[in-house]
Structure 1
Amino acid sequence: MASKGKVCLAYSGGLDTSTILKWLLDQNYEVVCFLADVGQEEDWDQVRSKAAAIGATKMVITDLRREFVEELCFPAVQCNAIYEGRYLLGTSLARPVIARAQMKVAAEEGCQFVSHGCTGKGNDQVRFELAFLTIDPKIKIIAPWRMPEFFDRFQGRNDLLDYAASTGIPVTSTKAKPYSMDDNIAHCSYESGQLEDPSKPPPTDMWTRTDDPMKAPATPQDIQIHFEKGIPVKLTTEGKEITDSLELFIALNAIGKLHGIGRIDIVENRYVGIKSRGCYDSPAMTILRDAHLDIEGLVMDGKVRALRDQFVTHAWSEILYNGLYFSPEREFIQNSLVYSQKSVNGEVRMRCYRGNVFILGRSSETEKLYSEEESSMDSLVDFSPVDTTGFININAIRLKKYGQAKLEAGEGLGTK
């Protein structure tokens, strides 16, 4: 039978994508497997050998760690990106670089189709497919977990295991984890399974990127982070200086892990409309966000910062969460973000200790918005208290009219 075409499959080596690989081959597709290295713990040789054993034409593994940190994680820090006030977007941030790299491999290998193992209830199917279709509007997508001929056949893990046994798919373990995980250099996420009851605490041994804060060292660790235009460019700790972007991020992950920094347990609203309980540990991103917020207080114009917080931070975070990185609105907002960070230059000193990161101080050699003398209660240089009377009177004009109207309506604000 003639081949139906060539597919580039996002392949992890796990049971789900191994089943999808074999199923695509059974459907008479030729398959090129793709795996992105975004900082997850992985046995790369085992993945290669498994893909070859199942029948993949080729296995392509691409190191995207530096690209991920510099093009997504650092802009997220500049933006103080956060979803629903809690989630630092670790999974969402990785998807654009993975999708772009997969599409590049698909083009290089002459694939007419791309495929993935995302479930039909999650956000990732939306994130990946919107990226695929924006990068190449003509690409064809095979999403097995939304195809009745696939999900009717494989309704649970036992069905997948039976198929693996009957078709010779190498399976390293038959014991299901009580939750699912997604790991990258920005964080590890944990959801589903036993975590679906939001009233119960997560297992204490679940976390992989942070050690237990209760058992963290009794001795704190001090660090100093230097920013240029809102980007972390130097980390100093224990007599060492790190300036390489990837090494800086890896070092902060190690420090945060040791001191148990960056854990959250939340219920979030997925883009598809479903509420989902998720647990995340994001050590480097947590430390960098706190440091960046602090240096902005020293060097950033107050009105610019307020507009950025109200518009750019919220919109950029939601755009990334919803999978719209490759969109005109993200490009538009990115320009505002870059402009807002021109003056964010300086250093922040911090102390890492048992699940927390404390600010010890901040300074800037180039930005002069803060004046110690001007802010001092013991100095009147360049400031006259008399001027404040006019300031108050001008601002009171509108409010006095509002108060008078309330009195005339019998709704005086001075009474309950």
Structure 2
Amino acid sequence: MSDKIKKVVLAYSGGLDTSIILKWLQVTYNCEVVTFTADLGQGEELEPARKKAEMLGIKDIFIEDLREEFVKDYVFPMFRANTVYEGQYLLGTSIARPLIAKRQIEIAAETGADAVCHGATGKGNDQVRFELGYYALNPGIKVIAPWREWDLHSRTDLINFAEQHQIPVPKDKRGESPFSVDANLLHTSSEGKALEDPWVAAEEYVYARTDDPVTQAPNEPEYIEVEFEKGDAVAINGVSLSPAMLLTKLNELGKKHGIGRLDLLENRFVGMKSRGIYETPGGTILLAAHRGIEQITLDKGAMHLKDEIMPKYAEVLYNGFWFSPEREMMQALIDKSQEFVAGTVRLMLYKGSANVVGRKSPYSLYSMEHVTFEEDSVYDQKDAAGFIKLNALRLKLLKRRGQH
């Protein structure tokens, strides 16, 4: 294998599994490894990843803060569509993978690497998302997926490999982890092991980003205002914030009020069903707020068209086709609809819920003159008779045919 791969860019977290992968690449492919560690707001200290990479002999180490790019160029475009997968999931894991893949391909070009590597297993969606991104951006890139290649089939095998190659194994990694966690600024996802039985409720310790809405959340509601421009949130309570800082603030508010918990049994792209415990506190508030500002600014036809294509858009993102022409086409339609989606939404946060209680916009399509129950001079109620008769015509004809 050594003559096939010369240099590989590894998506490296600094944890035990990716450290094992790093060494395995060196041993198996006898190649140079470049590590790439992305700060997407997962809440972990990343400098230890640099030290571990250096300890394993890595010279080219990339550690980058991508939080602003992540929210501005990936999370916000997705939320303009009010994207939910299978009616509930806000796609926190799915939306992070295209950015990681993009930077890996860019770093490969910068360093002259001929391959990229990820740590996703052969059972999940992430392998698909990473690799579709790689191939879309560099069709000639070589892809290494260790979990589909190596003969390390158990936790014991992994630990033995680590000890054989002097990779430190933390004490808490020697036993079976109770579940697997993926996190970024948008959400936390917990899956597997203790969570695999869909009949058994998740224990409270599973939830890392939200306080218990019943026992810990405040007993009084909190009201906030979120301001929008062209479909993107730009301020909270009158304070302008960058995309990442705005989502961070919404996360703090959502955590406090226990907002954004989801226990979902979903359909994976690879064909099986899986159970995930998701926490998306800021994203849940943002979705409610965006829906609220669209209610007052979007034309009925535009709103309904968006709602029609949203499930398809969500499926495309979930399956890993961010860089596909169909996603770009739908994004163009969605973004066009957001030109006048601007104004302020007031929400009530209380015991796990985020409810819109007010909205205003300089581009409002809401006319009190037209909807008032009092006397008005802009709407002739007699016009409704002809409108109804024309719409009833085909129903009358159908009924008459059935009477023959």
TM-score (norm 1): 0.93
Is structure 2 residue 36 aligned with structure 1 residue 11? no
Q: Does 1:218 align with 2:219?
A: yes
Question: How many residue pairs align between the two structures?
Answer: 399
**What does the per-residue CA deviation read over 1:59-109, in whole Å, with 9 as the maximum and x for residues that have no partner?**
211111000000111112211011010000001111111111111111111
Aligned to 2:191: 191
8 A Cα contact 1:52 1:58, kept in partner: no
Residue of structure 1 in register with 2:103 after alignment: 101
- Over 3 Å counting, the alpha-carbon distance change for 1:406 and 1:55 in structure 2 is farther
What is the CA deviation profile of residues 147-191 of structure 1, one whole-angstrom value per residue up to 9, with x for unaligned ones? 2xx0xx211111101111121111223233211010000000011
Query: Is 1:336 equivalent to 2:333 in the alignment?
Result: yes
Equivalence for 1:386: 382
Q: Does residue 321 of the first structure (1) align with residue 318 of the second (2)? A: yes
Aligned to 1:25: 26
Contact 1:80 1:293 in 2 (8 A): yes
Give SS of 2:258's match: coil
Q: Is structure 2 residue 353 aligned with structure 1 residue 356? A: yes
The share of aligned pairs that are identical, in percent, is 46
The code of the aligned residue for 2:189 comes to: S
Distance 1:157 1:397 in 2: 69
Choose the corresponding residue for 2:306, options 305, 308, 316: 308
- Structure 1 residue 298, shift from structure 2 partner: 1.1
- CA deviation map 1:103-147 (0-9, x unaligned): 111111111110111100111111110110111111101111112
Residue matched to 1:205: 205
Shift of 1:2: 6.8
> What's the secondary structure of 1:128's corresponding residue?
helix
Contact 1:99-1:128 within 8 A present in 2 as well = yes
Which of 241, 244, 249 does residue 242 from structure 2 map onto?
Answer: 244
Q: Distance in 2 between matches of 1:74 and 1:263?
A: 20
Letter in 2 for 1:57: K
Does structure 2 retain, via aligned residues, the 8 Å contact 1:220–1:352? Answer: yes
Distance 1:298 1:227 in 2: 12
Query: Who is 1:413 aligned against?
Result: none
Query: Is the contact between residue 10 and residue 117 of structure 2 (CA under 8 Å) also seen in structure 1?
Result: yes
Match of 1:175 in 2: 175
Q: Distance in 2 between matches of 1:406 and 1:205?
A: 62
What is aligned with 1:157? 155
Provide the residue aligned with 2:230 in structure 1: 229
Contact residue 8 and residue 115 of structure 1 kept, 8 A: yes
| CA distance in structure 2 between the aligned counterparts of 1:221 and 1:245, rounded to whole angstroms | 22
Letter in 2 for 1:374: H
What SS does the corresponding residue of 1:324 show, helix, strand or coil?
Answer: coil
TM-score (norm 2): 0.96
For the pair 1:111 / 2:76, whether they are aligned, the reply is: no
Deviation at 1:50, TM superposition (A): 1.4
Measure the CA separation in 2 of the matches of 1:24 and 1:40.
25
CA distance in 2, matches of 1:19, 1:243: 39
Deviations 1:188-217 (A, max 9, x none): 001111111111111111111111111112
Moved over 4 A (4+): 1-4
Q: Would you say the 8 A contact 2:68–2:242 is kept in 1?
A: no
> How far is 1:57 from its partner?
3.0
Contact map agreement 1:263 1:280 (CA 8 A) in 2:
yes
* Unaligned ranges ≥5, structure 2: none
The answer on 1:402 being equivalent to 2:404 is: no
Whole-angstrom CA distance in 2 between matches of 1:110 and 1:188: 34
Report if aligned partners of 2:228, 2:343 keep a CA contact under 8 Å in 1: yes
- Give the Å deviation of 1:16: 1.7
Partner of 1:205: helix, strand, or coil? Answer: helix
Contact 1:7 1:113 in 2 (8 A): yes
Q: Which amino acid aligns with 1:269?
A: N
Q: Is the 8 A contact 2:121 2:127 kept in 1?
A: yes
